Amino acid sequence: MRYRTLTQFLIERERAGRISPDLRLLIETIARACKAISTRVNKGPFGGGYGLAGSENVQGEIQKKLDVLSNEILLEANEWGGNLAALVSEEMEDPRPIPTHYPRGQYLLLFDPLDGSSNIDVNISVGTIFSVLRCPTAPDGTPHEPDEKAFLQPGRNQVAAGFAVYGPTTVLVVTVGDGAWGFTLDRETYTFALTHPDIRIPADTAEFAINASNMRRWEPPVKRYIDECLAGKDGPRGKDFNMRWVASMVADVYRVLSRGGIFMYPRDAKNREGRLRLMYEANPMAFIVEQAGGMATDGSRRILDIQPTSLHQRVGVVLGSKNEVERVAAYHAA
Ligand code: AFP
């Protein structure tokens, strides 16, 4: 069976006027960078990528060599194209404006270069998450300085988002606002083939994903929801539930996209704002999940409507099968 490639998919959307040539180039460039990261991840200890980088990132997290490497791959791939004004990364404190010796473009790119990196050394899937915004312009069309303020836009402003999961296969999931589309890396031709067209998340599920070790810290609505899942068919839900927790958001979200489910990293007594990052984890995943017919909230509010106040702010996340996410929101409202 011949699969359409990512390039064919993007050319079709450019011809349909849904994306600009610059946005097409941006997504293709990110996809190429994800191939390079996938190669390094799959080299394991033979690629010099294992272990600690001996540094800390802006989050105060110990950096793995692959964190730093992945960040550099994405920076180098994206600085010359003339389609970006600036970049934001989980690994960097401030926005990185495109160097003045390159032309600047209209888009802002945000990414988590290697999500789930604490799973690297134990050979569990990790990934890359990205989000694309437009740089705001003045009424006369001149672009604003691509500073922190330019990035602080609600997630509903995203023009594209995606993530790669580096697992048994490398899959890239992308949305440009007309559905969520999954591409699997064909390692013989080294091209992304459209294997999961127009992904749809089932509205119902019997599978939840949460880090249950935080149970004592959860707010009551979350505790109620999980207790009811655990009560199974003898409880108020009248059916048994299964649990999964990979601790790599990309892997957990990809499973939800593939077979339904609800993924939760709620605010709690320890992570009062939540643990996941709004701008380059929650927002892109929320955009993709909504495009696949699912729902994404911080427990009660739609994630894509949250007005950011700082680049690296955290947020609670409840996303996936619509009817379950709605139930959690109803418990918060009660
Ligand atoms: P790391 O990138 O530090 O491994 O964190 C991964 C993550 O941001 C997200 O991908 C997971 O869903 C979540 O954290 C796992 O958090 P816990 O380790 O607390 O379960």
- pLDDT digits 0-9 by tens, 280-301: 999 999 999 999 999 999 999 9
Give the closest residue (by CA) to ligand 1 atom 7.
Answer: 116
SS3 308: coil
- Is 109 among the domain residues? yes
Residue nearest to atom 12 of ligand 1 (CA): 249
Domain finish residue from 196, 228, 250: 196
Give the mean pLDDT of 304-331.
Answer: 98
Dihedral sign (CA 119, 121, 127, 129): positive
Residue 287: CATH number of its domain: 3.40.190.80
- Position in ligand 1 atom list of the atom nearest CA 126: 10
| Domain end residue (candidates: 172, 196, 220) | 196
Q: Which atom of ligand 1 is nearest to the CA of 245?
A: 20
Task: Report yes or no on 114 lying in a domain.
Answer: yes
Nearest CA to ligand 1 atom 6: 116
Show the domain range for 62: 6-196
With a cut of 80, say whether residue 64 has pLDDT above it. Answer: no
What ligand 1 atom has the least distance to the C-alpha of 214?
19
Q: Are both 148 and 28 inside the same structural domain?
A: yes
Name the average pLDDT for the chain: 96
Average pLDDT on 30-59 reads 86
65-90 burial, b if ≥16 CB within 10 A, otherwise e? bbbbbbbebbbebbbebebbbbbbbb
For 208-266, the pLDDT digits (tens) are 999 999 999 999 999 999 999 999 999 999 999 999 999 999 999 999 999 999 999 99
Shared domain check, 249 and 187: no
Residues at CB less than 6 angstroms from ligand 1:
61, 115-119, 211, 247-249, 265, 275-276
Decide if pLDDT at 13 tops 80.
yes
Residue with CA closest to ligand 1 atom 18: 247
Please tell me the distance between residue 250's alpha carbon and the centre of ligand 1 in angstroms: 10
Residues 110 and 59 in one domain: yes
Q: Which residues contact 2 (CB under 8 A, 6 or more apart)?
A: none
Domain harbouring 131, CATH code: 3.30.540.10
> In terms of DSSP bridges, do strands 181-186 and 191-196 run parallel, antiparallel, or are they unpaired?
antiparallel
Ligand 1 pocket test: pick from 66, 67, 68, 115 the residue with the most ligand atoms within 8 Å of its Cβ: 115
Residue among 122, 123, 249 to mutate when testing ligand 1 (max atoms within 8 A of CB): 249
Distance 275 CA to ligand 1 centre (A): 8
Query: Contacts from 100-106 at CB under 8 Å and sequence distance 24+?
Result: 104/143, 104/146, 105/22, 105/81, 106/22, 106/134, 106/135, 106/137, 106/143
Residues 182 and 232 in one domain: no
Q: What pLDDT is recorded for position 195? A: 98
Whether 201 is in a domain gets the answer no
Would you say residue 117 lies in a domain? Answer: yes
Distance (angstroms) between ligand 1 centre and the Cα of 54 equals 20
Residues 19, 139 within the same domain: yes
Which pLDDT belongs to residue 49?
Answer: 67
Domain count, the chain: 2
Same-domain check for residues 283 and 238: yes
Is 211 within a domain?
yes
Residue 226 to residues 239, 244, 263, 272, 279, Cα–Cα distance (Å) = 13, 13, 12, 19, 27
Does any domain span residue 1? no
In the listed set 162, 196, 230, which residue is the last one of a domain according to the structure?
A: 196
Least Cα distance to 287 among 194, 139, 188, 175 occurs for 175
Q: Does position 58 have pLDDT exceeding 80, yes or no?
A: no
pLDDT score, position 46: 86
**Cα–ligand 1 centroid distance for 262 (angstroms):** 16
Task: Tell me, yes or no, whether 234 lies in a domain.
Answer: yes
Q: Looking at the structure, do residues 181 and 268 belong to the same domain, yes or no?
A: no
Residue 202 lies in a domain: no
Specify whether 258 is located in the same domain as 115.
no
Cα-to-centroid distance, 21 and ligand 1 (Å): 35
248 and 283, same domain (yes or no): yes
223 and 181 assigned to the same domain: no
The answer on 211 and 100 residing in a single domain is: no
Instruction: Read off the pTM.
Output: 0.96
Q: Are residues 265 and 117 in the same domain?
A: no
Distance, in Å, from the CA atom of 250 to the CA atom of 236, rounded to the nearest integer, reads 31
pLDDT tens digits, one per residue of 104-161 = 999 999 999 999 989 998 999 999 999 999 999 999 988 899 999 999 999 999 999 9
Residue 248 Cα to ligand 1 middle (Å): 6
- Closest C-alpha to ligand 1, atom 20: 247
Q: Kindly tell me if the per-residue pLDDT of 168 is higher than 70.
A: yes
Give yes or no for residue 87 having a pLDDT over 70.
Answer: yes
